[in-house]
Amino acid sequence: MIRLEPRTDPSQTMIILTPILAVLATMVVGGILFVTLGKNPFEAIRMIFWDPLFGEHAFYYRGQILVKAAPLIMIALGLSFGFRAGIWNIGAEGQFIMGAVIGGATGLALYPLDSFIVFPLMVVMGALGGFLWAMIPAFLKIRFNANEILVSLMLVYVAFNFLIGMVTGPLRNPDGFNFPESRSFQDFPAAHNPELWAGTGIHLGVLTTLGFIILAYIMITRHIFGFNVRLAGQAPRAAKFAGVSPNKMIAICLGLSGALAGMAGLFEVTGPAGKLTTTFPLGYGFTAIIVAFLGRLHPIGILLAGLLMAVTYVGGDIIQSQLSLPKASIQVFQGMLLFFLLAVDVLVNFRLRISKRISK
Amino acid sequence: MKLLKTLMTGAALVVGLGGMAQAEDKTKVGFVYVGPVGDFGWSYEHNEGRKAVEEAFGDKVETMFVESVPEGADSERVMTQMALDGADLIFTTSFGYMDPTINVAKKFPNVKFEHATGYKQADNVSIYSARFYEGRSVIGHIAGHMTKSNTIGYIASFPIPEVIRGINAAYIAAKKVNPDVKLKIVWAYTWFDPAKEADAATALIEQGADIIMQHTDSPAAMTIAEEKGMYAFGQASDMKQFGPTARLSSIIDDWAPYYIARTQAVMDGTWESTSTWDGIKEGMVGIGDFSNDIPADVQASATALKEALISGATHSFTGPVNKQDGSSWLASGETADDGTLAGMNFYVEGIEGEVPN
Amino acid sequence: MDISIVSLLATLIVAATPILLAATGELIVEKSGVLNLGVEGMMIIGAICGFIAAVNTDSPLIGFIVAALAGAALSLLFAVLTQYLLANQVASGLALTLFGLGLSALLGHGYSGIKPPSSPKMEWFGMAELPVVGPIFFNHDMMVYFSIFLVLVVWLFLKFTRGGLILRAVGENHEAAHALGYKVIRIRILAIMFGGACAGMGGAYLSLVRVPQWTEGMTAGAGWIALAIVVFASWKPWRLILGAYLFGGVTILQLNLQANGFDMPVSYLSMAPYLVTIVVLVIMSADRRRASLNAPASLGKIFHASS
């Protein structure tokens, strides 16, 4: 029978190998899926993974990958600290929305002021919006021991309805024929988050994300906070003895992830989305959770995982228009990728042992 | 910033020219849908239009489409993708695609864009929409006759001019034949959410409505009406299979004539940027068959109304009509102009409740 | 303002049934110490599989049975991942949701716009004709009554049977249960599959009775609500009913108020059910003594028999 034997140390080779194994397994099973849908599997796989990076129009797609990956990575970085410490912020989508709404509202309130201070102020307010929204589950957990998974999740729906209320009401574009959306940030240069270099897709959010990756790396590997977070996750009692206050940890981790999600929301709404509408939230808050896990909660891993997810998004659009495959096929693909990664991950900490059945 | 724009346009021209250099015999037409083609509503009908184009032109045309494309950066990417893949004409079928369409159109000046329900045009961007309110007049007329409880339930999506126009048109027509009729409106704040639409229909029926109208995309309300033995009207598609006895008639979006005409124009080289707002006359708005439950005289008067709308003898918004607050809007015999209609944000007199804002 | 209380209550019960079914299943799963966030994925797989089965066999009953089997099958993926491959439960649950949503959309691609066979309403020997109580309590389809019956069965199981005791033991302290010789993994897998079956039936209720139609993503977050209701109920079966009906009630009330011309800002009314859930969650959790007595102590912890 096959048994799992714990390793004494996590296998270094496996840490590198498992994501590759997972991607390969997904390609194989995904290929079978495409065959059942009546398409050439090799063509489909090529369109998902190869074309966005090296294909005919890759010069455009590569930029789009960055655009898609930046918010995912930014949110996932914030989440990773909490996840390491066992604090599960599932409501990042709600914090993303609130950051966009509050930051965006600040900018719209200042329209048409043309000052360099507008955008930085919006970024700060966006971070603040997400931070405050994440503080609700933090406070309720600290004070009342309420489960942060459920509170933060419920708040996603509250935030979404708040967005609708704002966008059909106070934040509605007065020049917009009564449509439920805000003024377009494209029409407000001081508040706009455009592509900095044409065709690269790089906007301020992308640059900020890069900065955060470096910061997160330093924090998790060298800073005492990073150490405390890792300790709290792996040995909660030891952490307590070491003086790590669990309440402080909850507040900081949730606050941090909220702020980052809020900022990502602000960058997204002033850049790629262009305006506050009822449909701008695309589920990045939830996808970021997957990215965080795919990246093993490590900043470099998250960077790679975010890029990988973004490639599947861009590739997914390609197979839709080129092969007439339904949008759902790429969702299945992404789910499978995560499944396989979680499955092969066990090989990092455990060894496979095939032994003869011991007769009882 | 200006330098960047110049660089970008320069780059775009190179790409565009490159695209032209690979001139193909087939005309490539792309379609961007905001919802799933299986919604039996908005996106479904646009896709039917696409299929009509394929059927009309056979080998001379190649179509491609992407469904459920969110507004914003994703739609820009999909449009750019299609343009890079050699599309000659791209239909973007949602109001929210407006800015993305304009942005992508700038980068690909040789590709023609058709944007539905928007208001921004460009040299290579046309806008088009349908006078659905004409259809509302016809079904409002029928509803006014058919309601026994004098309450019509209306499931509205978002308080935008198009929806408010529909509500007003339906009410005016119903009231004309039935002065006691009342309209109960529920705002679903979604274009497509079958569960919510079903709940809204149930709530309206519980509050006394015996006829349901909707400005949302799924057949859920029709299904509920069928279940509860009430009447309803199909929206965007006929929806007869959902309400075999419930369906009185329907408003059908028929994009085929327009899509075929525009594709032909691209093929002939006569395409120009236009603003089109077509109604029943041009075939963009279709009225579904009348159910046998509708008495012959009502069927006749409804048909007459339809013919009058086509010929121009009647306009959906003809005075005397006052605004909800009592102030006069249209004098006797006066008809509403397109500008007011495009930005309509008020109810007409007699409708209870406020426009949410 | 004349809102018909009778029809409001009747509709509320129908609205609450899918989440009640899913929550009942999840309660068992969590009692065994596993947190399965994939309820949404299992519900929607049940919705489409039940729909396909019902449409092809013209029998809603077969639809529900197939939905239960489909939900259980999907949950098996989660079970293998978390129990054998020791994957993180939060991530696995989310992967399940994502995968379930995508797979259901793929399966359902040819099934949009089809009407399923209708589920007959029961009459209870004419009691449905009684004024007031008739329409509220006695005129629903069989799944409504089944959902309440299921709660009863679960309550009896947990409280009075040996199996229930073992399940609770596994949830409270899996190390001790293992030491006592109970097969922790097997018990958990069975619990997970039960949860999957219930969630599948809940999803099928949406596509076969409540809407009734198939549409991509039609569960619209119902799975998450079910999770919240389990906590709301402090893992006590009877309170599930209260939670589900409360939640369904606020949702329906908002629509009825609107239909009555009650001019309230719609989006703020729509927030109400979620805010109410948070408030109740807080109240339930604030009583630390009671809360800790009910939440299974091993909830979410990975078990590996390292022997």
Query: Inter-chain contact C15–B227, Cβ cutoff 8 Å?
Result: no
pLDDT digits (tens, 9 = 90+) for B259-283: 999 999 999 999 999 999 988 888 8
Provide, as residue numbers in chain A, all residues whose Cβ is less than 8 Å from the Cβ of C286: 143-146
Give the number of C-alpha atoms closer than 13 A to the C-alpha of residue C31, restricted to the C-beta side: 29
CB pairs under 8 A between A and B: 102
Query: Inter-chain contact B206–C7, Cβ cutoff 8 Å?
Result: yes
Query: Inter-chain contact B81–A181, Cβ cutoff 8 Å?
Result: no
β-pair partners for B129: B277
- Integer CA distances (angstroms), B80 to A65, A314, A321, C98, in order: 14, 12, 12, 28
**Which residue type, as a one-letter code, is found at position B75?**
S
Question: How far apart are the CA of A319 and the nearest CA of chain B, in angstroms?
Answer: 9
β-pair partners for A2: A354
Residue B261, C-beta contacts closer than 8 angstroms, at least 6 positions apart = none
* β-strand pairing of B321-322 with B328-330: antiparallel
- Contact with chain B for residue C5, Cβ under 8 A: no
Domains in chain C: boundaries: 5-294
Could you say which of 1.25.40, 1.10.3470, 1.20.1630, 1.10.730 is the CATH number of the domain covering C5-294?
Answer: 1.10.3470
* β-strand pairing of B125-130 with B275-278: parallel
Distance CA C247, CA C250 (A): 5
For chain A, domains (ranges, CATH) are 2-23+66-354 (1.10.3470)
Distance CA C150, CA C165 (A): 18
| Coil/strand/helix, residue B214 | strand
- Contact with chain C for residue A38, Cβ under 8 A: no
Q: Taking 60 as the threshold, does the pLDDT of residue B310 lie above it?
A: yes
Q: Cis before residue B159, ω within 30 degrees of 0?
A: no
Using a cut of 0.80, tell me whether the model's pTM lies above it: yes
Query: Inter-chain contact B220–C211, Cβ cutoff 8 Å?
Result: yes
Handedness of CA A7, A9, A14, A18 (dihedral sign): positive
Higher-confidence residue of C189 and B350: namely: C189
| Coil/strand/helix, residue B328 | strand
Residue of B189, B196, B190, B186 whose CA lies nearest to C267 = B189
Distance CA A153, CA A149 (A): 6
What confidence score (pLDDT) does residue B10 get?
43
pLDDT digits (tens, 9 = 90+) for C107-161: 888 777 677 787 777 766 666 666 766 667 777 788 888 999 999 999 999 999 9
**A145 to chain C: closest CA residue:** C285
What confidence score (pLDDT) does residue B16 get?
45
For chain B, give the mean pLDDT: 86
Q: How many CB atoms lie within 10 A of CB A32?
A: 11
Residue B312 exposed, middle or buried by CB count within 10 Å (0-12, 13-18, 19+) = exposed
8 A C-beta contact, residue B234 and residue B247: yes
A284-293, B17-26, B65-74, C180-189: which range is least confident on average?
A: B17-26
What confidence score (pLDDT) does residue C263 get?
66
8 A C-beta contact, residue B255 and residue B48: yes
**C112 to chain B: closest CA residue:** B38
Query: Inter-chain contact A317–B159, Cβ cutoff 8 Å?
Result: no
Q: Which of B13, B15, B81, B90 to mutate to test the interface with A (most CBs of A within 10 A)?
A: B81
Higher-confidence residue of B92 and A247: namely: B92
- Contact with chain B for residue C117, Cβ under 8 A: no
Distance CA A347, CA A16 (A): 11
The structure tokens 């840490």 sit at A15
β-pair partners for A6: A350
Question: How far apart are the CA of A47 and the nearest CA of chain C, in angstroms?
Answer: 19
Higher-confidence residue of B40 and A357: namely: B40
Residues 231-270 of C with CB under 8 A from B: 251-252, 255-256, 258-261, 263, 265-267, 270
Most confident of A17-21, A228-232, B344-348, C194-198: C194-198
Residue B135, C-beta contacts closer than 8 angstroms, at least 6 positions apart = B251, B252, B280, B285, B286, B287
Report DSSP state, residue C130: S
Query: Inter-chain contact B206–C256, Cβ cutoff 8 Å?
Result: yes
Higher-confidence residue of B234 and C294: namely: B234
- Among C88, C91, C231, the residue with its CB nearest the CB of A150 is C231
**Which residue type, as a one-letter code, is found at position B70?**
P
Residue B271 tokens, joined: 């395409």
**A136 to chain C: closest CA residue:** C278
Distance CA B345, CA B170 (A): 15
pLDDT digits (tens, 9 = 90+) for B133-144: 999 999 999 999
Secondary structure (DSSP) of A306-326:
HHHHHHHHHHHHHHHHHH---
- Contact with chain B for residue C291, Cβ under 8 A: no
Per-residue HEC secondary structure of A219-260 comes to HHHHCHHHHHHHHHHHCHHHHHHCCCCHHHHHHHHHHHHHHH
- Integer CA distances (angstroms), C229 to A147, A155, C278, C283, in order: 12, 15, 10, 13
Residue C190, C-beta contacts closer than 8 angstroms, at least 6 positions apart = none
What confidence score (pLDDT) does residue C307 get?
35
What confidence score (pLDDT) does residue B18 get?
43
| Coil/strand/helix, residue A297 | coil
Instruction: Tell me the residue length of chain A.
Output: 360
Alpha helical stretches, state H, chain C: 5-31, 39-57, 60-79, 89-107, 133-137, 142-160, 162-172, 174-179, 184-205, 222-232, 237-259, 266-286, 288-294
**C261 to chain B: closest CA residue:** B353
Query: Inter-chain contact C213–B189, Cβ cutoff 8 Å?
Result: no
**C256 to chain B: closest CA residue:** B203
Q: Taking 50 as the threshold, does the pLDDT of residue B1 lie above it?
A: no
Query: Inter-chain contact B195–C8, Cβ cutoff 8 Å?
Result: no
**What average pLDDT score do residues B315-331 get?**
85
Percent of chain B residues past pLDDT 90, beyond the cut:
45
**C291 to chain A: closest CA residue:** A145
- Integer CA distances (angstroms), B155 to A91, B138, B184, in order: 31, 17, 9
8 A C-beta contact, residue A290 and residue C94: yes
Describe the strand order of the beta sheet including B285-287 as a list of residue ranges: B182-187, B151-156, B211-214, B231-236, B247-253, B285-287
Question: How far apart are the CA of B51 and the nearest CA of chain A, in angstroms?
Answer: 14
* Residues of chain A where predicted confidence (pLDDT) is lower than 50: 360
Alpha helical stretches, state H, chain A: 12-36, 41-45, 51-54, 58-84, 92-110, 118-144, 148-168, 204-222, 224-234, 236-241, 246-270, 284-294, 299-323, 328-344, 346-349
Distance CA B309, CA B307 (A): 5
**C260 to chain B: closest CA residue:** B207
Query: Inter-chain contact A168–B66, Cβ cutoff 8 Å?
Result: no
Distance CA C207, CA C217 (A): 11
Question: How far apart are the CA of B356 and the nearest CA of chain C, in angstroms?
Answer: 7
Query: Inter-chain contact C105–A328, Cβ cutoff 8 Å?
Result: yes
Q: How many CB atoms lie within 10 A of CB A240?
A: 13
* Mutual angle of helices C5-31 and C142-160, in 10-degree steps: 40
Distance CA B23, CA B201 (A): 52
Distance CA B348, CA C66 (A): 51
What confidence score (pLDDT) does residue C286 get?
73
pLDDT digits (tens, 9 = 90+) for B8-17: 444 444 444 4
